[in-house]
Structure 1
């Protein structure tokens, strides 16, 4: 029998990442899992098997990532599937958030994934196969959430570089998929996974109202099932035809459709203005 794939999943001490790791191990896959808190990860996974490699990794540090990737290859011989899942939510309007707060969110949500991609690609190129799943968010497709601008920007960045990656690696037998989850019943909206602006400004009514809605109405009532999402990851990874864009959850599906309809309407309404910016051919005499 062909051995099961080797998965690398980042951000696995809680949430969707942890659920995916548990599902993969249960189904006999070999799994390397990174976390900033390896003790929490070990407690969650419980008894270790030869199929599980926990790694305490600082994804923002390229040398730490390089060491982790080398350890995975040394232990399992290869890497087949990468899930860039690590990240956190940073709330606050663009005026409220400091340069440091914004950059920290980009460091983890964007540059951490780029470090993983940079260190994994030599192995994928060598064997002419591999799959990336880069976790964006529905907020990386639809950005009209007041107070979520920096987080949105990090997730739009994930979508953007993944589109480019998919084109860059196509002839190498490697695929790249942008995953846009909606609201899933994880601890993402809880303290520790979501950071608020250090210096909020009361004038931002819409942003404050949305914070309250997330805290009092959405948290704990998310419609998405992490177990079902984990099953989708495995199904797509085992497929010969992996999508570039993968939306997870009915809420994400509906919000994406709504934006697409708005775009189509505005393209049509302003078509003449859009095309008026081309150089105009001189009228024939």
Structure 2
């Protein structure tokens, strides 16, 4: 897919979370190669510098604890002041969590929501005053096909990604009149380190009764390093969408994501129609 970072995205300022690996790192490298100004966050700035390169006039690596709204606000403000602008905000940071609801502790669940959902909210809240003031900008939230068509054994991960899709859909309507665009991206399986230990948490206290959950985890873990999706193509697609005058609110990435989403639409249509009469019978009579 063509990378349009030198034309449609000329002279834009990008803010990207979770930039030391995966999609985030691919985005940073492609954007810098295209002459873009990039502020990129990580909890481990040294790792980000090793992966993406040294600080330059176009590259600003920043520490941010996404669960801390003050840390996020400081990163956004520093990026905006350094580059004198803010155009595209990409909420990329997140991690996977596997296990049945019964197997996962409250602490594990809340930590997942803190990064995958509240981290996204913190970035949006910090960026919106600038975008609103200039009446332009594009917020791109990275969700997952799990937020549309979840798989066995990934309930909490699906819940966080459902949340990102839902908030993005409404945000798109809320900020449309301000000239701000919103896109939520739902990738399938890409050959990143998502299935490795530093990006994936599995329930620490498994219960023997959940054999199907264990089987599902085993199938996904066997995919590590063999996923069909190319993260460089995903990054190029996201950059391309950011350059469009009328970008989509929803973007599926990967043939697997597309197929799972379309299958889910068929299932929903069947279930809704199956109970159509019951659903419509709720009105008061008289």
* Structure 2 residue runs without a partner (length 5+): 1-6
Q: Which residue of 1 aligns with 2:33?
A: 26
Candidates 47, 55, 59, aligned match of 1:52: 59
Candidates 257, 269, 272, aligned match of 1:267: 272
Q: Which residue of 2 aligns with 1:130?
A: 137
Secondary structure of the residue aligned to 1:58 is coil
- Answering whether residue 270 of structure 2 is matched by residue 245 of structure 1, we say no
CA offsets, 1:242-275, max 9 Å, x none?
Answer: 1111100000000000000111112222111110
Distance 2:76 2:255 in 1: 35
Distance 1:277 1:224 in 2: 45
Distance 1:120 1:47 in 2: 25
| Aligned pairs (5 A) from 1:1-285 | 4-143=11-150, 145-216=151-222, 218-280=223-285, 282=286
CA offsets, 1:181-205, max 9 Å, x none?
Answer: 0000000011111011111111101
Distance 1:73 1:211 in 2: 41
Give the conservation status (yes or no) of the 8 Å contact 2:55–2:61.
no
**Deviating more after overlay: 11-20 vs 266-275:** 266-275
Distance 2:109 2:155 in 1: 10
Secondary structure of the residue aligned to 1:87 is coil
CA offsets, 1:197-241, max 9 Å, x none?
Answer: 11111110111001111122x111111111111111111111011
Q: TM-score, normalised by structure 1?
A: 0.95
CA offsets, 1:18-75, max 9 Å, x none?
Answer: 1111111111110000000000000011243210000011111111111111111111
Q: TM-score, normalised by structure 2?
A: 0.95
Distance 1:279 1:262 in 2: 30
Secondary structure of the residue aligned to 2:28 is helix
Q: What's the CA shift for 1:3?
A: 5.2
* Structure 1 residue runs without a partner (length 5+): none
Aligned-residue CA RMSD (Å): 1.2
Higher relative contact order (CA 8 A, sep 6+): 2
